[in-house]
Structure 1
Amino acid sequence: MYQIIRYLSFATFIAVAVWYLGLRPTGIEPVSYTASSDPGLVGTFAPNQRLAVIDVLDMGEQDGPEDIAVDAQDVGWVTSAQSGLWRVDGRQMSQVDMLGGRPLGLEFGPDGALYIADSYRGLLRWTQDSGMQVLADSYQGQPINYANQVAPARDGSVYFSVSTSRHDPEILGGTLAASVVDLWEHRRTGHILRWTDAGLTQVAEGFSFTNGIALTPEQDALLIAETGEYRIWRHDLASGTREVILDGLPGFPDNIQAQGDGTYWVGIVSPRRAIADRLAPYPTLRNLIWRLPEAVRPKPVHQGILMRIDGGGRILEVLQAPQGEYSLVTGAITVGDLLYVTSLGAPGLGVMDAP
């Protein structure tokens, strides 16, 4: 009898394991792709300590200052993962409002309003006098689940990126969790929308997690970070054509912040994970791995990397914090003699002397 019980217990364990690893629904549908060659953190990206000297401006109980916008008076504005809106004067921060949702990309428009890409609510417009206005929360009958970064134009239109049309960060527990799911699945549903008073039009599509966008100084093109393919595009707005200007990055590009002089700060939110690149052609294996406990799945590496590029994709400088002194870096902007650095998960806004 004891042997029979042992046999039944073992058979039950095997049956449960087979169901868990092979049959249990995962909610994702990975596709095959080919990852570009990883150059590694060498050459231009060789580790340095330039970002390790950063100071962190306290945000109290809030964290995740994902983006920063600068108004006409050179005052910075930052949001948090908890939806707080903060004003930044030099090295001092003060909270101004609670916006709700999960605001990501921020940029002031020519009308002086703050335009916000909110990953839960779509494209928003905020002013101190009028508060919040929802400009767009759906497109062609489908909710905008993951608005990411925003670029208001001088003509009053607003471009914004939608990272994925498949995964809702509010349902999945946040933007980081939803981004990991979408990158692992790799179905290329990211796109760029343009808002005007007349409604929304699609500007570009077919990206693996569309992320940062920025208009060129002439406003004739958009620079677009495609996080899942480790590259940056230049999309011509007149012709609708696009070309890769920077490919094969050693990490995941995030926000693109126009400095106003034809250069751009680009955050590298994490170095690459070799296992993800090796498994790119094998969607079935990726599906199996997704059935494993979350604790053993690939995760972002907490190592700070920030780069500055020109409009042609030439890398001008790279700042790093190899030990994660400031990590999950999303972007940056220079204001006067200070460089503000943003992060998906840091306890406050990074600030240092401008390089």
Structure 2
Amino acid sequence: MAFTGVRLVPVNGEGPEDVVVDEQGRIYTGVADGRILRISPDGRRIDTIADTGGRPLGLELYGPDELLICDCDRGLLAVSRDGGEPRTLATEAAGRRLLATNNAAVAADGTVYFTDSSAVFPIPRWREDLIEQTGSGRLLRRAPDGTIDELLGGLQFANGVALAADESFVAVAESGACRVRRAWLTGDRAGTTDVFLDDLPAYPDNISTGSDGLIWVAKASPRVAALDVVRRLPPPLRATVRRAPVWLQPGLGRTVGVLGVAPDGRVVRERTGEIDGFHVLTAVREKDGQLYFGSLVERAIAIAPR
């Protein structure tokens, strides 16, 4: 089904890559210059509540009054929703510096599941990781006492993270492989992993659990045939493509999409198409029948009926 009834809400910054909505309907996002913005439910007021000094990406509600921030430059952070100086939760994990902190999900007990997209290329060089298929991304878990362990490694540009509504599993998007994997946390399958969604026709980005119990997946762009060709080139030729100006590299399409997926992997909601004035849709958040979209490149968020 195509997108209908989409409303753009301008923000005073570039690249509101993720969005999260609190109990009062206020919308939070982070922009490229490091600011964390809080937007009133009607979109008419925008407050800057913090500045990470880096590049904030994934955001989550954290406890009763904080916001969790995945900052690809600064690591895993938290800040009061009323504003203030961000505090650092992690800059390294499992013996390795966090190079590309990207997205997260928070369990009821405060456990944080989050991604480090690549051990080779920082987030601004995401195209290069997709070209080289480094398989160096990881899904990490931070316990309430601050200890961190690795749940999954060897991921192809680990990106969005979402917990099942009953917290039986955690799902992680692999943008470079066009799939979503999951790690089982409870029940007979605890400690095992499998594929939740495979062979997607688009690159999955941020994912989130909606108030409807579905896992929502943002599709930033259709798969690019030229990228598949480049990936098969010998290493020296791939390196030449990586060093080329961005406008010469395989580019993203303007078609975007979102999926609403049941815990058993059935796609029960889908929107695909172009949104006038809005592309590279990197985040989707469902709350009370509304969908909220973020973008890596626009100067607006978007809101649409589910």
* 2:11 matched residue in structure 1: 59
What is the CA deviation profile of residues 183-203 of structure 1, one whole-angstrom value per residue up to 9, with x for unaligned ones? 111010000111132421111
Partner residue, 1:346: 298
Identical positions, percent: 30
Say if 2:140 is the partner of 1:193. Answer: yes
Distance 1:112 1:317 in 2: 31
Matched residue, 1:320: 272
Q: CA deviation at 1:341?
A: 1.2
- Indicate the residue corresponding to 1:4 in structure 2: none
Q: Among 211, 225, 240, which residue is 2:159 paired with? A: 211
Q: List alignment gaps of at least 5 residues for structure 2.
A: none
Match of 1:134 in 2: 88
Structure 1 residue matching 2:228: 3-state secondary structure = helix
1:213-250, CA deviations, whole angstroms, 9 ceiling, x for partnerless residues?
A: 11111112101111111011121125321111211111
Question: Aligned AA for 1:233?
Answer: R
Q: Larger strand proportion, structure 1 or 2?
A: 2
Query: Structure 1: which 5+ residue stretches go unaligned?
Result: 1-47
Give the corresponding residue for 1:335. 287
How do 1:27-46 residues align onto structure 2 when only pairs under 5 Å count? none
In structure 2, C-alpha distance between the alignment counterparts of 1:292 and 1:112, rounded to whole Å: 45
Larger Rg: 1
Deviates more, 1:97-106 or 1:209-218: 97-106
Please say if residues 50 and 79 of structure 2, whose CA atoms lie closer than 8 Å, have aligned partners that are also in contact: no
- Secondary structure of 1:131 counterpart: coil
1:221 aligned onto 2:173: no
| 1:287-320 Cα distance to aligned partner (Å, 9 max, x none) | 3433444332112222222222112222222223
Per-residue CA deviation, residues 248-296 of structure 1 (Å, 9 max, x unaligned), is 1111000111103320221111111112223433343323433444332
Q: Retained in 2: the 8 A contact 1:266–1:308?
A: yes
Summarize deviations over 1:125-148 as a string: whole Å, max 9, x none.
Answer: 111365311000112453211111
The structure-2 alpha-carbon separation of the partners of 1:293 and 1:318, relative to structure 1 and needing over 3 Å to count, comes to same
Structure 1 residues 73, 91: closer, same or farther in 2, change over 3 A?
closer
Q: Select the residue among 140, 152, 155 that pairs with 2:106.
A: 152
User: In structure 1, what is the Cα distance between the partners aligned to 2:29 and 2:243?
Assistant: 36
Determine if contact 1:70/1:77 at 8 Å carries over to the other structure: yes
Farther off after superposition, 118-127 or 274-283: 274-283
Distance in 1, matches of 2:29 and 2:275, equals 25
Contact 1:149–1:211 at 8 Å: present in 2 too? yes
- Residue 269 of structure 1 aligns with an amino acid whose one-letter code is A
Which amino acid letter does the alignment assign opposite residue 243 of structure 1?
D
**Would the alpha carbon gap of residues 282 and 94 (structure 1) be closer, same or farther in structure 2, given more than 3 Å must change?**
same
Question: By percentage of residues, which structure has more helix?
Answer: 1
8 A contact 1:138–1:144 mirrored in 2: yes
Q: Which runs of structure 1 show a deviation greater than 4 angstroms over 4 or more consecutive aligned residues?
A: none
Q: Name which of 242, 245, 257 aligns with 2:208.
A: 257
With over 3 angstroms needed to count, the CA separation of the structure-2 counterparts of 1:295 and 1:333, relative to structure 1, is: closer
Paired residue for 2:195, among 233, 244, 253?
A: 244
